[in-house]
C-alpha cells in the first residue's frame, strides 16, 4: 500500500474521490481471522476460525449473541467488534422493551451502518476496524448482512470475511444456490466445510472452529465441540495417526501470513474505489 | 386555606393476594387470578406471577400497570446481566436488583407489593418480601396484597419458629415438605377468599425446584 498525502485524516478526500482512512479500516477486516455466514429459508449459521495469539492463550470470542433471534460474527479489531455487539444488544433490548416485539434484522443493520458512517465524517473519530456478519430471523424470514467499516451494508445468501476468506467464498459461490432450501444439518455442514477451505491444509478439528445456529423455533446458540466433531467426521476421513499428530504439526506460520496479504483487492494506486458496488 | 387536593390519582389498586413459602430445596409461589377495580371485576384469569430468571419468580399485587412496567424493566436488566456475565441471575442478586429498581422511583413509586421467591445459590428455597419503595428482607414465608392481613397471622401460627426464650424449650420447626407447603397455601387462600372480596376466582401455584418449575391451578370461590 502506498503512503499518500491524503490518508492521514478521515475527513480528507483524495483527488480521486476516496477516503483512504476508511479503506485502511477495511484492510483491518481482511487481517482478522475468518468468519463465515450462510442462510437458508429458515436458519442462519455463523462460523469462525479460532485463532489464538499464542499457544499459551485462549482464542478470542468472535461470535456474539445479540438476541434470541440475532447473532453476529466479527473479523478485524475484536475490541471494536465487542463494543458494537454491546450496542446491538442494547438496541435490541430497548426495541423489545418499547414495542414488545423482536427487532427486525434489517432495522438493526441500518442503525449499525449509520453509527459506522458517523465515524467516517468526524475529524476526532476513526472508523471502526471491524466487519460484522449479522445473521438473524424476523417476520420476513432469515437474513444475513455484512456491515463494513465504511458504513455500507449488504445482504447475502452466504459470505466470508477475514484472512483467506477468498477460499471460503469460492466454495460458497459454487454451492450457494442450494442454500435457500437447505436443511439445517446441510447448512451447518457447508459452514464447516467453508471453514475448512480457509484453513488450507491444516487439519480440521472442532477445537479450531466455533459454530453458531439460529432458526425458526431455535434461538441463537453455539454448537458444542462434540456436535461439530461429528459433522467433521462425516467428511474428514483422516487416519488416526494424523489426527493425533495434529497438535504437534509444524504448520508454517509464514504460510498463514503470506496467504493473508495475497487477499487484497483494490491497491492504493488504482482508480477503482473498492467501497463502491 | 386548606391544601388543594388532586381530583385525579395516578394510581389504582387492582387487588389480589400473593403468598410465597420457602422450603429446604423448593419454593412455592402462589397468587389468585382476580383483577379488580373498585367494586368491579376486570378479569377472573389474570396472572400475577412472573418468572424473572430460572431461579427467581416474582409475584406482585397492587397497581398492575406499575407491576407490568416493573416486570419489563427487570426483564431487560436481566437480559443485560446475561450478556455481561454469561449466566442467569441468582435469586439474591435479583432481590437486590428489585430493591434498587423500586427505590429508584422513591418519589413516584411503583404501586407494587412484591414477593420474590426462588432458590438461593445453595439450592435452598428463599423468599424476599418488599414494600413499595424497595425495603426488603429475606424471610421463610411472606404474603402481600389485599388478603395478606388475613393470611399472614395464620402463616405465623403454622410456620414461625418458636422463640428460643420460651420455657420449656420447644423444638425448632421440622422442615416443611413440598406437599405440606402446597396444601397450606391452598388452605390459606380458600380462607382469605371467604372474607376478602378482592381475592378469589382461581389460585395459581408455582413450585420452583432445581430441576424446573411446575404450575398448578385451583378453583376458588367466584363471589
Cell 416485539 -> residue? A101
Confirm if B22 and B52 have CB atoms less than 8 A apart: no
Structure confidence at residue A181 (pLDDT)? 95
Q: B79 to chain A, minimum CA–CA distance in Å?
A: 8
Burial of A59 from C-beta contacts in 10 A (0-12 / 13-18 / 19+) = middle
Q: Which three cell numbers stand for residue A106?
A: 434489517
User: Which residues on chain B are in Cβ contact (under 8 Å) with A86?
Assistant: 83
Contact residues, chain A, for B73 at CB < 8 Å: 97
Residue B198 has pLDDT above 70, yes or no: yes
User: All 3 cell numbers of residue B106?
Assistant: 422513591
Work out the average pLDDT over A93-106. Answer: 97
List the domain boundaries for chain B.
17-216
Which residue in chain B is spatially nearest to A99 when comparing CA positions?
Answer: B72
Here the ipTM equals: 0.86
Flag whether pLDDT at A106 surpasses 60. Answer: yes
10 Å Cβ neighbour count for B43? 13
For residue A261, pLDDT over 90 is answered with no
The whole-number pLDDT of residue A6 equals 85
Q: Strands B125-130 and B136-139: what pairing?
A: antiparallel
Please give the average per-residue pLDDT across B195-222, as a whole number. Answer: 97
**A96 chain-B contacts, CB cut-off 8 A:** 76
- Tell me what pLDDT residue A255 has: 39
Residue B172 pLDDT greater than 70, yes or no: no
The structure's pTM equals 0.85
Quick check: A86 contacting B, CB < 8 Å?
A: yes
Give the whole-angstrom CA distance, residue A264 versus residue A163. 10
Residue A258 reports pLDDT greater than 70? no
Q: For the CA atoms of A220, A225, A228, A232, what is the dihedral angle to 10 degrees?
A: 170
Which residue in B70, B82, B83 has the most chain A C-beta atoms within 10 A of its own C-beta, making it the best mutation to test that interface?
Answer: B83
pLDDT at B56: 97
C-alpha dist (Å) from residue B220 to A177, B33, B40, B59, B197: 60, 9, 17, 18, 12
What are A130's strand-pairing partners?
A76
Q: How far is residue B27 from each of residues A85, B126, B127, measured CA to CA in Å?
A: 36, 7, 8
d(CA B125, CA B91): 9
Fold exhibited by the domain B17-216: 3.60.20
The DSSP code sequence of B153-221 is HHHHHHHSPPPTTSSSPPPPPPPPPHHHHHHHHHHHHHHHHHH-TTS-SEEEEEEEETTEEEEEEEE--
> Is any Cβ of chain B less than 8 angstroms from the Cβ of A97?
yes
pLDDT, tens digit (0-9, with 9 covering 90-100), for B64-80:
999 999 999 999 999 99
Work out how many CB contacts closer than 8 A connect A with B.
14
Residue of A nearest to B74 (CA): A97
pLDDT averaged over chain B?
95
Report d(CA B54, CA B119) in Å as an integer.
9
Per-residue pLDDT band for A99 (boundaries 50, 70, 90) equals: very high
* Span A197-252, pLDDT tens digits: 998 888 888 888 999 999 999 999 999 999 999 999 988 765 544 444 444 444 44
Q: CA–CA separation, A245 vs A253, rounded Å?
A: 17
Can you tell me the mean pLDDT for B74-94?
A: 96
pLDDT of the residue at A265: 39
Closest CA to A159 of A128, A134, A130: A134
Alpha-carbon gap: A113 to the closest alpha carbon of chain B (Å): 22
pLDDT band for A57, please (50, 70, 90 cuts): confident
DSSP 8-state class, residue A189: H
Amino acid at each position: 500500500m502506498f503512503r499518500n498525502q491524503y490518508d492521514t485524516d478521515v475527513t480528507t478526500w483524495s483527488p480521486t474521490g476516496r477516503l483512504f482512512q476508511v479503506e485502511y479500516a477495511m484492510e483491518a477486516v481482511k487481517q482478522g481471522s475468518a468468519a463465515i455466514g450462510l442462510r437458508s429459508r429458515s436458519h442462519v449459521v455463523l462460523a469462525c476460525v479460532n485463532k489464538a495469539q499464542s499457544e499459551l492463550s485462549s482464542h478470542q470470542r468472535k461470535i456474539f449473541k445479540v438476541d434470541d433471534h440475532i447473532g453476529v460474527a466479527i473479523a478485524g479489531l475484536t475490541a471494536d467488534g465487542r463494543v458494537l455487539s454491546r450496542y446491538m444488544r442494547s438496541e435490541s433490548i430497548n426495541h423489545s422493551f418499547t414495542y414488545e416485539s423482536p427487532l427486525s434484522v434489517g432495522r438493526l443493520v441500518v442503525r449499525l451502518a449509520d453509527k459506522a458512517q458517523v465515524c467516517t465524517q468526524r475529524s476526532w473519530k476513526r472508523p471502526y476496524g471491524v466487519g460484522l456478519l449479522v445473521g438473524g430471523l424476523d417476520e420476513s424470514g432469515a437474513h444475513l448482512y455484512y456491515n463494513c467499516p465504511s458504513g455500507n451494508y449488504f445482504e447475502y445468501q452466504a459470505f466470508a470475511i477475514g484472512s483467506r476468506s477468498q477460499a471460503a467464498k469460492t466454495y460458497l459461490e459454487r454451492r450457494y444456490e442450494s442454500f435457500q432450501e437447505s436443511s439445517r444439518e446441510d447448512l451447518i455442514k457447508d459452514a464447516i466445510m467453508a471453514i475448512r477451505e480457509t484453513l488450507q491444509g491444516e487439519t480440521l478439528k472442532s477445537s479450531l472452529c466455533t459454530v453458531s445456529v439460529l432458526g425458526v423455533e431455535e434461538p441463537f446458540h453455539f454448537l458444542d465441540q462434540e456436535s461439530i466433531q461429528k459433522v467433521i467426521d462425516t467428511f474428514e476421513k483422516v487416519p488416526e495417526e494424523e489426527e493425533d499428530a495434529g497438535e504437534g504439526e509444524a504448520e508454517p506460520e509464514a504460510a498463514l501470513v503470506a496467504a493473508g496479504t495475497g487477499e487484497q483487492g483494490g491497491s492504493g494506486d488504482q482508480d477503482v474505489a473498492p467501497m463502491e458496488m | 386555606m386548606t391544601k388543594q387536593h388532586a381530583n385525579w390519582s395516578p394510581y389504582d389498586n387492582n387487588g389480589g393476594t400473593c403468598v410465597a413459602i420457602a422450603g429446604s430445596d423448593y419454593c412455592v409461589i402462589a397468587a389468585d387470578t382476580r383483577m379488580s377495580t373498585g367494586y368491579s371485576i376486570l378479569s377472573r384469569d389474570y396472572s400475577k406471577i412472573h418468572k424473572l430468571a430460572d431461579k427467581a419468580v416474582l409475584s406482585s399485587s397492587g397497581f398492575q400497570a406499575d407491576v407490568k412496567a416493573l416486570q419489563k424493566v427487570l426483564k431487560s436488566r436481566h437480559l443485560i446481566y446475561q450478556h455481561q456475565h454469561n449466566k442467569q441471575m441468582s435469586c439474591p442478586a435479583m432481590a437486590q436488583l428489585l430493591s434498587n429498581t423500586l427505590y429508584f422511583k422513591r418519589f413516584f413509586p411503583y404501586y407494587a407489593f412484591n414477593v420474590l421467591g426462588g432458590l438461593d445459590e445453595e439450592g435452598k428455597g428463599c423468599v424476599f418480601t418488599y414494600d413499595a419503595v424497595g425495603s426488603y428482607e429475606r424471610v421463610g414465608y411472606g404474603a402481600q396484597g389485599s388478603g395478606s392481613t388475613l393470611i399472614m397471622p395464620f402463616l405465623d401460627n403454622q410456620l414461625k419458629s418458636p422463640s428460643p426464650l420460651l420455657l420449656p424449650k420447644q423444638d425448632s420447626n421440622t422442615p416443611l415438605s413440598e406437599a405440606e407447603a402446597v396444601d397450606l397455601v391452598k388452605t390459606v387462600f380458600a380462607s382469605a377468599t371467604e372474607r376478602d372480596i378482592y381475592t378469589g376466582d382461581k389460585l395459581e401455584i408455582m413450585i420452583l425446584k432445581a430441576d424446573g418449575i411446575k404450575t398448578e391451578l385451583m378453583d376458588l370461590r367466584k363471589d
